[in-house]
Amino acid sequence: MGLKLTGRDAEGKHALMTTAPVPRLIGSLAVPTIVSMLVTSFYVMADTYFVGKINTQATAAVGISFSVMAVIQAFGFFFGHGSGNYISRRLGAHDYANAERMAATGFFCAFLAGVLIAVCGLAWLAPVCRLLGSTPTIQPYAETYLGIILLGAPFMTSSLVLNNQMRFQGNAVYAMVGITAGAVLNIGLDPLLIFVCDMGIAGAAWSTLASQLCSFAILVAMDRRGGNIRIRLRNFTPRAALLKEIVYGGSPSLCRQGLNSLSTILLNVAAGAFGDAAIAGMSIVGRVCMFINSFLIGFGQGFQPVCGFNYGAGLYRRVRQGFWFCVRLGAVFLAACAVAGFVFAPDIVAWFRDGDPQVIAVGSRALRWQLVTLPLGAWIVLCNMMLQTIRQPVRAVVLASARQGLFFIPFILLLPRLLGLQGVEICQAVSDVCSFAVSLPLTLPILKSLREDHSVPDPGRIG
């Protein structure tokens, strides 16, 4: 039998989250999350690295398929963040019954959404690959890779829910075990299946699928440990009130990830006008920046349970303290990465695709442009995470939509027409500057309102 959430374990967790020194508390929660994010990003980079040894078209196919993976992740984060944000606030308000109902509802809804994505994606695989920007030479590789990846959609979406729910409960170590185990398996299987078994790009896809199944199984096992809320079918309660809370808490993630997928499609289409090497180069840059940002996102995810617990308990000054601590540390880290990456940009891109000078040229230029604005991400990402966690859905959705939607999509349609390939390379940097400008009026008034503690918990309690 699992530990009951209403016992001493839950009260001890509440006391820890609302009284421990904020920097130390965020650090303890962020370390396992950062490890999970870094390892996950590294195994995505490993796919790109090993596939890059096949040819340029295979490298581009992985980049194109990432758009669909982003859609799968979008629904995983939608249900994971939507349920997790609510759970952390309810635990902060000592409302354990609704936290348990939300945990089951978020998990099973995500699994069903993953099944639907897999069925639809496999039914229209060829047209989907063409829509994503596949050229005739890339299309066979994209169909092979994506056709296998889609089989894991239900397990990817529900794994993301378990991962986020554990994290929002302050049990990030358990989430780390599941994610890290799958990532390590993927890194080991990639060279074995691609080269030793001579499976080519299909080997990379089967490796990824196996890692997702492994992570899912371990996360389900971890869910029964450490006072985590256990997922029980009898608690599955798809009532309008709970689904509304998922929409409030998860819409920013859905918009962010969904627009990220759309922007990647448009980026691939725009880059495809300049050849397969341009698609491959931009794909590599996306992986590198995702790896660097994984530290910031992991650190921010260490902040979110602290934010949710303390906001639910009315301890608003602790929310502010945690926010500014994360922003300062994140900005310093990203600035250091930007300087190092700017200097060694050609070497970084060549590590993925050393045999194609065109890929290196495009990738190194685009990477340097994105690194110039990289430190701004500390403010943008932390603002978005805080607004999402404290139930500010409109502001959070606007900010989540800004970087990859409101600005990137118009720019990727306009700039390549005006500046050619350089317009593709600078598009993300220009979007980041605009997103930073929008984030200021959205967030500063909220931060001002959090200067004093409040005795009344936030809305969201369901009777």
What are the tens digits of pLDDT across the range 193-245? Answer: 988 888 999 999 999 899 899 989 999 888 877 677 888 888 898 888 889 88
The helix/strand/coil state of 416 is helix
What is the distance between the alpha carbons of residues 373 and 346, in angstroms, rounded to a whole number? 18
What is the distance between the alpha carbons of residues 343 and 368, in angstroms, rounded to a whole number? 9
Q: Which of 94, 227, 248 is nearest to 170 (CA)?
A: 227
- Burial (CB < 10 A; 0-12, 13-18, 19+), residue 146, is buried
Quickly state the pLDDT bin for 336 (edges 50, 70, 90).
very high
Sign of the torsion formed by the C-alpha atoms of 55, 57, 59 and 61: negative
Q: At what angle do helices 172-191 and 201-222 cross, to 10 degrees?
A: 160
Does residue 458 surpass a pLDDT of 50? Answer: no
pLDDT at position 355 is 67
8 Å CB contact between 362 and 421: yes
3-state helix, strand, coil in the chain (%, to 5): 85, 0, 15
8 Å CB contact between 157 and 257: no
Radius of gyration of the chain (CA): 21
> Any idea which of 31-45, 157-171, 440-454 has the lowest mean pLDDT?
31-45
Structure-token pair, residue 447: 């931060």
Q: Which of 435, 165, 99, 182 is nearest to 301 (CA)?
A: 165
Structure-token pair, residue 382: 């932390």
8 Å CB contact between 245 and 227: no
Does residue 151 surpass a pLDDT of 90? Answer: yes
Per DSSP, the residues of 236-258 read ----HHHHHHHHHHHHHHHHHHH
8 Å CB contact between 106 and 144: no
What are the tens digits of pLDDT across the range 370-412? Answer: 999 999 999 999 999 899 888 788 898 888 888 878 899 999 9
